[in-house]
C-alpha cells in the first residue's frame, strides 16, 4: 500500500531567484534585525512595518527549493510518492506579458525535478493566470503532454475576477477536455480588517486557520452559484484543507439557495446541480485538516474514495530544533487512523490508493 502526499509544495530554484529579485510581496529578503535568516513574505500585508519580526513572513531555507530535502522529508515520514506543486502565490503577480513564458519555464523545471526521482515524484503544473485565457488554455494542453504532470494548481482569483467569471469558460473547457484536475488552493484570505486591530498579536493564526479555509469556501460557493459545474460536468477539482468549510456549510448554502426570492424569480433555484451532488461527483478533498472532527465532515460530504492524504510540506515545520518527525504530519496521520479505526481498507484508500487511481500514478 503506497503512501501518497498530494499536498506538498516547492519553489523551484528559478522561482526563488525571482522572489529574491523583488521588493514587493511576494519576495524573499533578510531584515536588519535578523540579518542571517531569509524570510519568505507571501501573504498580503505580512511585511507591514508594525508586524513583529517573528510574524514577518516565515523563515525560508533549502527545504523550499532543494528536491533532495523533499525526498528526505518523504523518507522520514514514510511517504512513497509526492505530487509536488508550486506554492502560493504561484504566478498571479506577474505582468501579463511575462506570464506565459514564466509558466512554461516553471512547469518544465518542476517536471524535470520529478524526473530526478522517477516514480516517487509527480506534479501539478501552474498556469499563467495574469495572461490571456488563450495562453492559459494553451498551457493546460501543453501540461497534458508532460510526463510527470497530473493536473494544475491554482488560487481563487482566476483571471482577476474570481472563479465564477464567465471569461474562465475556455479554461474550464480545456481542463475538462485534457482531463487535468485542478488543485484549488487559497492564498488571499479575507480582508485584514476582519481580524481586528489586535491581529498582529496573534501571529499567522487567523489568516491561516480561518482566512484560507473561508477563501476556499467562498470561491467554490461562487462556482456552484454561477453554474460552473452545470456547464462543465466533467470538471474535477481537488480542494485544499478538506474543502475549507464547504463540507460543514454545504447544507446551509443549499438552504439559502432554496429560500432566495431573487434566485427563484430568475429561475435559478431549479434545474441546477446541488452542492451535495457536486461534492460526490466533481470534488475531491485533501485530508489536511488536523483533526478527526473535520475529517468526518469531509468523509460524510464526499466519501472515503474522494479523500487524499497531504502534508503541506514545507509549511508548518516543527518550531523546536531536532524534531525529525513533523507534528503537522503526525497530526494528520493520527486523524486518519482515528477516523477509520478498524476499517483499514478506507484508511489505505485515503493514505494512497485513491491518489494512485485518481491521478493515474502507476
- Label residue 14 exposed, middle or buried (CB < 10 Å: 0-12, 13-18, 19+): middle
User: Interior CA angle at 360 toward 180 and 290, to 5°?
Assistant: 85
The smaller minimum CB distance to ligand 5CU, of residues 90 and 229, is found at 90
Q: Where are the beta strands (DSSP E) in 155-230?
A: 181-184
The smaller minimum CB distance to ligand 5CU, of residues 153 and 228, is found at 153
Cell of 267: 429561475
C-alpha to C-alpha distance for 122 and 133, rounded to whole angstroms: 25
- Label residue 125 exposed, middle or buried (CB < 10 Å: 0-12, 13-18, 19+): buried
Using CB positions, name the residue nearest to ligand 5CU: 315
The smaller minimum CB distance to ligand 5CU, of residues 58 and 70, is found at 58
Which of 82, 88, 297, 332 binds ligand 5CU (CB under 6 A)? It is: 88
C-alpha to C-alpha distance for 275 and 281, rounded to whole angstroms: 10
Site string for ligand 5CU, 249-278 (x = CB under 6 A): ------------------------------
The smaller minimum CB distance to ligand 5CU, of residues 9 and 150, is found at 9
Q: In whole angstroms, how close is the CB of 325 to ligand 5CU at the nearest point?
A: 19
In sequence order, the 6+-apart residues with CB closer than 8 A to the CB of 241 are: 186, 212, 213, 216, 286, 288, 289
The smaller minimum CB distance to ligand 5CU, of residues 59 and 78, is found at 59
Q: In whole angstroms, how close is the CB of 312 to ligand 5CU at the nearest point?
A: 5
By CB under 6 A, the count of residues binding ligand 5CU is: 9
Q: In whole angstroms, how close is the CB of 311 to ligand 5CU at the nearest point?
A: 10
Nearest in space to 222 (alpha carbons), one of 155, 276, 164: 164
Q: In whole angstroms, how close is the CB of 190 to ligand 5CU at the nearest point?
A: 14
Site string for ligand 5CU, 1-40 (x = CB under 6 A): --------x-------------------------------
Q: In whole angstroms, how close is the CB of 88 to ligand 5CU at the nearest point?
A: 5
Q: In whole angstroms, how close is the CB of 47 to ligand 5CU at the nearest point?
A: 13
The smaller minimum CB distance to ligand 5CU, of residues 203 and 251, is found at 203
Residues of this chain, 275-334, that bind ligand 5CU according to CB under 6 A? 312, 315
The smaller minimum CB distance to ligand 5CU, of residues 150 and 241, is found at 241
The smaller minimum CB distance to ligand 5CU, of residues 204 and 268, is found at 204
- 188, 215 contact by CB (below 8 A): yes
The smaller minimum CB distance to ligand 5CU, of residues 61 and 119, is found at 61
User: Interior CA angle at 157 toward 153 and 162, to 5°?
Assistant: 120
Q: In whole angstroms, how close is the CB of 89 to ligand 5CU at the nearest point?
A: 8
C-alpha to C-alpha distance for 114 and 92, rounded to whole angstroms: 23
Checking DSSP bridges between strand 38-41 and strand 58-59, what pairing results, if any? antiparallel
Q: In whole angstroms, how close is the CB of 95 to ligand 5CU at the nearest point?
A: 22
C-alpha to C-alpha distance for 312 and 127, rounded to whole angstroms: 20
- 158, 13 contact by CB (below 8 A): no
Site string for ligand 5CU, 34-73 (x = CB under 6 A): --------xx--------------x---------------
- 316, 59 contact by CB (below 8 A): no
In sequence order, the 6+-apart residues with CB closer than 8 A to the CB of 187 are: 42, 43, 88, 89, 90, 92, 155, 156, 157, 212, 215
Which of 25, 71, 133, 208 binds ligand 5CU (CB under 6 A)? It is: 208
Return the number of other C-beta atoms located less than 10 Å from residue 360's C-beta: 11
Binding site for ligand 5CU (CB under 6 A): 9, 42-43, 58, 87-88, 208, 312, 315
Amino acid at each position: 500500500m503506497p503512501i501518497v502526499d498530494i499536498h506538498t509544495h516547492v519553489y523551484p530554484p528559478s522561482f526563488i531567484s525571482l522572489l529574491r529579485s523583488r521588493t514587493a510581496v511576494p519576495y524573499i529578503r533578510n531584515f536588519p534585525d535578523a540579518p542571517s535568516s531569509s524570510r519568505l513574505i507571501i501573504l498580503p500585508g505580512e511585511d507591514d512595518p508594525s508586524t513583529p519580526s517573528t510574524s514577518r513572513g516565515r523563515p525560508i531555507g533549502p527545504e523550499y527549493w532543494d528536491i533532495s530535502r523533499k525526498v528526505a522529508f518523504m523518507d522520514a515520514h514514510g511517504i512513497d510518492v509526492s505530487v509536488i506543486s508550486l506554492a502560493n502565490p504561484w504566478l498571479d503577480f506577474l505582468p501579463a506579458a511575462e506570464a506565459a513564458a514564466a509558466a512554461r519555464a516553471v512547469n518544465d523545471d518542476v517536471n524535470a525535478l520529478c524526473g530526478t526521482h522517477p516514480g516517487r515524484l509527480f506534479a501539478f503544473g501552474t498556469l499563467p493566470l495574469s495572461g490571456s485565457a488563450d495562453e492559459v488554455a494553451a498551457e493546460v494542453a501543453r501540461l497534458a503532454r508532460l510526463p510527470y504532470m497530473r493536473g494544475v494548481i491554482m488560487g481563487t482569483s482566476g483571471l482577476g475576477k474570481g472563479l465564477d467569471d464567465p471569461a474562465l469558460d475556455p479554461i474550464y473547457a480545456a481542463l475538462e477536455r485534457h482531463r487535468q484536475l485542478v488543485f484549488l488552493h487559497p492564498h488571499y484570505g479575507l480582508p485584514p480588517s476582519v481580524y481586528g486591530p489586535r491581529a498582529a498579536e496573534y501571529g499567522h493564526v487567523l489568516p491561516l486557520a480561518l482566512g484560507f479555509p473561508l477563501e476556499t469556501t467562498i470561491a467554490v460557493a461562487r462556482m456552484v452559484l454561477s453554474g460552473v459545474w452545470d456547464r462543465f460536468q466533467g470538471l474535477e477539482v481537488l480542494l485544499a484543507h478538506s474543502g475549507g468549510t464547504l463540507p460543514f456549510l454545504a447544507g446551509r448554502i443549499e438552504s439559502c439557495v432554496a429560500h432566495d426570492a431573487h434566485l427563484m424569480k430568475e429561475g435559478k433555484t431549479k434545474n441546477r446541480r446541488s452542492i451535495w451532488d457536486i461534492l460526490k461527483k466533481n470534488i475531491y478533498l485533501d485530508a489536511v485538516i488536523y483533526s478527526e472532527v473535520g475529517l468526518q465532515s469531509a468523509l460524510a460530504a464526499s466519501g472515503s474514495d474522494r479523500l487524499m492524504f497531504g502534508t503541506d510540506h514545507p509549511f508548518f515545520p516543527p518550531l523546536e530544533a531536532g524534531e525529525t518527525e513533523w507534528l503537522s504530519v503526525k497530526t494528520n496521520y493520527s486523524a486518519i487512523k482515528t477516523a477509520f479505526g478498524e476499517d483499514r481498507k478506507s484508511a489505505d484508500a485515503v493514505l494512497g490508493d485513491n491518489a494512485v487511481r485518481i491521478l493515474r500514478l502507476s
